[in-house]
Structure 1
Amino acid sequence: MKIIMRTLVLLVLINAVLLYMHYSQMEGAAGKGSETATYDQEIEVTQRNDGLYIRQHFKGLENGRYEIVWPEQSENEACYIKDKSSCTRMNDSVTAILEGDAAEQSISYQIPIKSSDSSNLYENLFAKLRNGTVGTTMLHVTDETNSGGVWISELDRIGTKKLNRIEYTMFYGNGKADLLYWQNKELPEAYRSEQISIFGNGVHKEQAARLQGLLKKVDAPHMTVVVGANQKPFMKGRLVLTDQVDTELLEGRLVQYGVMARYGIASSERMTANIAASLLIGEPYGNGAAKKAYEKITEKLSATQLEQLNKKLGSTSKLEPQTMDQLIGEVSGLKTTFLEHAADEQYGFYFEDPRELKINGEKAENISVLLEDGQVFYSGKEFFSQLGYTLESNQQSIYVTNESNKYRFSLRDPFYVLNERKYSLRTEPYKKMNGTYYFEEDAIKRIFSLKIEKTDGAIDVSSAEGKEGETDK
């Protein structure tokens, strides 16, 4: 009885502290906004020999409908009667929370567990509300199996208490909880801060402090790192398990994963995360393409523009590739579609002229106007098609032809041929970018006898009289 009373007192004290933390953090987060309704949750996990028994309380619900997404492994899903209103909005099949005034609804379910002598990693463990975003999560883990060891979540571990018959651990933090890890060997908490907790040995305080600083710069939610001998490597969301301390790899992954968690970036859009991280931290992160893109952005934008871009990133809650392109465009006054197409490995970062393009008085669609090395380039195939030409190429030449004119540009020597007459070239009028040939503006004006006029809102291309070729060869 005394043990139970001590446990209850401990829970009451911890809950009081966490409630204070919760409202303080919610005040600080005000103004960021979200695209979907935000709710908080409290989750109680009890481990018994036959499984994990879970009670999940959704709090701060708005009066709209929420669809419940149950874990794949869950069993015995039900509404949990916590008080007289905790099930009033639940439909009969327990698949949705219906419209209503009750701000808190509760559910219960079980997850079968696989027996293990050393460790267990649970993924996608908890239920979710499809059209809602988690603000904060309070997670209680009570182990009734007397198995010992340590429980770890991506959330910050607030406290742990081991009694004669049960072991209790509490976690709390911003955002959802997807992962829960247990291992039978105790691990020391080597470092703990607002942004990161590190369990295990081998990470120096200086390294940990740098990680904390980087994660703070990108405003990442709390992340957890577990370092242990013979540890099977695992990196997902905000939890990293590793068997060795590779500082460079750990830093890169944590920053990338932290930004993905901060902005809700999909795992397939890591380029977006790397560009955002580079801008927020002020140094290049990610692969070669991301680093080159960052270099071009910082070369083009002034210090004031970079500061404006970081402010826009700081006030953004959801970041998609098109959003990142748009933010860069808003600050620079130019256009870029790099992140929108970054899945194509041939696609490089270029600034584009945002003005409307007209050819012979008609609006030209799907023609890129790239700005590179102080020059202007038009996407050849689409551009010449609008002028009535066909562009084809092989390993030796580029052919631009219509009924009356046939151009052949050599890809090996500095010349082109027009209707069997050869002209020398001082510089190549074309450049291969993003896997296709682009033609330089001044060159196409001369070679194709075009007139190009520019205003604040448009680029007008039209045919000009006569033809001024390059020097005869």
Structure 2
Amino acid sequence: MKFAMSFFSILALIITGTIFFQYQAYSSDLETGNGEFHYSQEIEFVYRENSLDIRQHFKNLPNQKVKIKWPKNAIDPSCFIENEKSCNRLSQEVSYFAKGDTKSQSVSYIIPIEGGLKDKMLLQNVLATLTNGDASYTVMHISTDSKTVGQWITGLPLVGQQQLSLVNYTMFSGNGTVRDIYWQAGNLKVQEQTPVLSIYAQQAISKDFLKSLETLKFLNNEHISIIQETSPVAGHDDRLLFLPTLTAQAVEQEVVLSQIKSQFTFEDSPAWLQEVVASYLVKETIGSDKTKEIVKTLKEFMTANQESAWQKALDTLGEESISPTTMDELLSDVLDAKTSYFKLNAAQENGTYPLLFEDDRSVYVDDTIKQDVQVIFYEGQTLYTADTLLPHLGYTAGEGENGYYVNNDNRTFRFPKDPGFYVFNQRRYSTISEPIIKIANRYYVEEAWLQRLFLVELQKSDDRIQVLTQEQE
């Protein structure tokens, strides 16, 4: 009984200590502004005299220090006095909101526009943001004088617009935030708006195209604005897309790829890797020819259970970065065999690299480990890297004018480019299978032919493959 009481006393002390240290860390985050949070915002833009005058109202702020990140070209950042408490948390140097109970704070600043608004102008990173904070909802009001005729576009849904006697007024609102706003002079207007898409074009779009939009598959419901434009603007917000022609296939592909870029972090990844992930997430192959070939290869190779496990692995991708290496790790787990399929394809500029698997056991020639020799499994064959293994066996090896040549003082081989035979010491021998195989500019020697032609014996254990040389005749 005493032992039980002592145990529970110690357990209570451990729990109390853990809670104390967690509270200390939490309190420290509140004081330093390191705690993550969500907020909403309402923003008023007024374009006048070659600048945007901006009033930004932050709402639902947490009771912690909140650092403000101003746009690089913002001038005159200051308090906007909407009521007696609208700036009571704003620091004197306007760099942060202090810890406090007031949920809403308002600021103002100016974004200069050199030369004024121009047709097809993208205004980038024009909004103040809050460190460690994500805007969950945004309302935007944009006003210009009545002589400035055109269309403002953001990634948010368009609520409405009015042409008044003195000003033109546009309003947007929706989930999330925006980074950039776009201005185009003339008759560009929203032609169609759904919960996910707004489509801006100068001409009305066909009923068939509108109907095709109903069947499109997207990754999430974050709203995106599509602008039909023959000269797309580069480097824009992920919630703005520029398409020269409007087709259902182009819209689906560009929207999904935009969504996947904002939803996941891709590290050192070619564009086709994003397309591969997107294809599995929407369960429809989209993207380049290389993407289609990779998806086709995986589907043809996998069993039904493997394909289900692979789909589940991609469906549950978290916040970790996605790269060819991480994709290879996932694929190796699903197939229960080590592969570098995605890394090899990332290095392959033209075409696709075939799906092959790696034997990760160490290779020894006699009693010496050979780090440069690799063993792979490909189409039911076990293959050794010829360029690195054969020199360890006393041969020179390399590609020549009429095939692949392997020579030493007493034995000469030529493996021609055409299948069906090889030449040994000037004599031709017919074959059913190929001793030397070329895969993506690299030569391999097949295991059974390695033993037969190059007079070696193989011994294998769980952690090593030993190539034992024999006296050559």
Normalising by the residue count of structure 1, what TM-score does the alignment of the two structures yield?
0.71
Question: In the TM superposition, what whole-angstrom CA distance separates every residue of 1:33-81 from its partner, at most 9, and x where no partner exists?
Answer: xxx956556362513222123455597679799794x655x13264656
Match of 1:30 in 2: none
Could you tell me how far apart the structure 2 residues matched to 1:336 and 1:438 are? 17
Question: In the TM superposition, what whole-angstrom CA distance separates every residue of 1:269-317 from its partner, at most 9, and x where no partner exists?
Answer: 3111111122223333222221111111111223333333233223224
User: Is the 1:138–1:171 contact (alpha carbons within 8 Å) kept by the matching residues of 2?
Assistant: yes
* 3-state SS, counterpart of residue 351 of structure 1: coil
User: Is the 1:414–1:426 contact (alpha carbons within 8 Å) kept by the matching residues of 2?
Assistant: yes
- 2:331 equivalent to 1:328: yes
Match of 2:454 in 1: 448
Q: Compared with structure 1, are the counterparts of its residues 138 and 400 closer, same or farther at alpha carbon in structure 2 (3 Å cutoff)?
A: farther
* 3-state SS, counterpart of residue 322 of structure 1: helix
The residue identity in structure 1 corresponding to 2:332 is G
Indicate the larger mover: 235-244 or 326-335: 235-244
* 3-state SS, counterpart of residue 278 of structure 1: helix
For the aligned residues, what is the CA RMSD? 4.3
User: Is the 1:75–1:110 contact (alpha carbons within 8 Å) kept by the matching residues of 2?
Assistant: yes
Unaligned runs of 5+ in 2: 1-34
Of residues 336, 342, 348, the one that matches 1:344 is 348
The residue identity in structure 2 corresponding to 1:392 is G
Could you tell me how far apart the structure 2 residues matched to 1:37 and 1:385 are? 59
Could you tell me how far apart the structure 2 residues matched to 1:99 and 1:364 are? 63
Match of 1:110 in 2: 110
* Alpha-carbon shift at residue 169 of structure 1 (Å): 1.1
Could you tell me how far apart the structure 1 residues matched to 2:457 and 2:107 are? 70
Match of 1:397 in 2: 403
Q: Compared with structure 1, are the counterparts of its residues 84 and 234 closer, same or farther at alpha carbon in structure 2 (3 Å cutoff)?
A: closer
Could you tell me how far apart the structure 1 residues matched to 2:456 and 2:66 are? 60
* Alpha-carbon shift at residue 263 of structure 1 (Å): 1.9
Q: Compared with structure 1, are the counterparts of its residues 209 and 343 closer, same or farther at alpha carbon in structure 2 (3 Å cutoff)?
A: farther
- 2:161 equivalent to 1:157: no
Match of 2:241 in 1: 240
Indicate the larger mover: 438-447 or 274-283: 438-447
The residue identity in structure 1 corresponding to 2:441 is G
The residue identity in structure 1 corresponding to 2:145 is T
Match of 1:44 in 2: 43
- 2:465 equivalent to 1:463: no
Could you tell me how far apart the structure 2 residues matched to 1:350 and 1:286 are? 19
* Alpha-carbon shift at residue 417 of structure 1 (Å): 4.9
Indicate the larger mover: 445-454 or 150-159: 445-454
Could you tell me how far apart the structure 1 residues matched to 2:90 and 2:391 are? 64
Q: Compared with structure 1, are the counterparts of its residues 121 and 316 closer, same or farther at alpha carbon in structure 2 (3 Å cutoff)?
A: same
Q: Compared with structure 1, are the counterparts of its residues 412 and 243 closer, same or farther at alpha carbon in structure 2 (3 Å cutoff)?
A: closer
Match of 2:199 in 1: 198
* 3-state SS, counterpart of residue 145 of structure 2: coil
Match of 1:285 in 2: 286
* 3-state SS, counterpart of residue 151 of structure 1: strand
User: Is the 1:390–1:401 contact (alpha carbons within 8 Å) kept by the matching residues of 2?
Assistant: yes
Q: Compared with structure 1, are the counterparts of its residues 347 and 244 closer, same or farther at alpha carbon in structure 2 (3 Å cutoff)?
A: closer
- 2:443 equivalent to 1:437: yes
* Alpha-carbon shift at residue 356 of structure 1 (Å): 1.9
Match of 1:138 in 2: 138
Indicate the larger mover: 268-277 or 382-391: 382-391
* 3-state SS, counterpart of residue 286 of structure 1: coil
Which protein is bigger by CA-based radius of gyration? 2
Give the fraction of aligned pairs with identical amino acids, expressed as a percent. 22
Could you tell me how far apart the structure 1 residues matched to 2:36 and 2:265 are? 15
Of residues 377, 380, 387, the one that matches 1:381 is 387
Of residues 167, 170, 173, the one that matches 1:171 is 173
* Alpha-carbon shift at residue 373 of structure 1 (Å): 3.1
Indicate the larger mover: 336-345 or 203-212: 203-212
Q: Compared with structure 1, are the counterparts of its residues 125 and 117 closer, same or farther at alpha carbon in structure 2 (3 Å cutoff)?
A: closer
User: Is the 2:120–2:183 contact (alpha carbons within 8 Å) kept by the matching residues of 1?
Assistant: yes
* Alpha-carbon shift at residue 258 of structure 1 (Å): 3.0
Of residues 405, 415, 418, the one that matches 1:409 is 415
Indicate the larger mover: 304-313 or 419-428: 419-428
Q: Compared with structure 1, are the counterparts of its residues 142 and 440 closer, same or farther at alpha carbon in structure 2 (3 Å cutoff)?
A: same
Could you tell me how far apart the structure 1 residues matched to 2:67 and 2:409 are? 62
Q: Compared with structure 1, are the counterparts of its residues 194 and 376 closer, same or farther at alpha carbon in structure 2 (3 Å cutoff)?
A: farther
Q: Compared with structure 1, are the counterparts of its residues 304 and 412 closer, same or farther at alpha carbon in structure 2 (3 Å cutoff)?
A: closer
Could you tell me how far apart the structure 2 residues matched to 1:98 and 1:466 are? 82
Could you tell me how far apart the structure 2 residues matched to 1:61 and 1:350 are? 53
* Alpha-carbon shift at residue 241 of structure 1 (Å): 2.9
Could you tell me how far apart the structure 2 residues matched to 1:399 and 1:99 are? 75
* Alpha-carbon shift at residue 368 of structure 1 (Å): 5.2
- 2:53 equivalent to 1:53: yes
User: Is the 2:89–2:97 contact (alpha carbons within 8 Å) kept by the matching residues of 1?
Assistant: no
Match of 2:224 in 1: 223
Paired residues, number:
421
Could you tell me how far apart the structure 2 residues matched to 1:133 and 1:296 are? 42
Could you tell me how far apart the structure 2 residues matched to 1:67 and 1:398 are? 65
Could you tell me how far apart the structure 2 residues matched to 1:106 and 1:448 are? 80
Could you tell me how far apart the structure 2 residues matched to 1:137 and 1:123 are? 19
Question: In the TM superposition, what whole-angstrom CA distance separates every residue of 1:112-137 from its partner, at most 9, and x where no partner exists?
Answer: 224346443223444567x8584635
The residue identity in structure 2 corresponding to 1:224 is S
Match of 1:181 in 2: 182
Match of 1:31 in 2: none
The residue identity in structure 1 corresponding to 2:325 is Q
Indicate the larger mover: 322-331 or 404-413: 404-413
Q: Compared with structure 1, are the counterparts of its residues 208 and 51 closer, same or farther at alpha carbon in structure 2 (3 Å cutoff)?
A: same
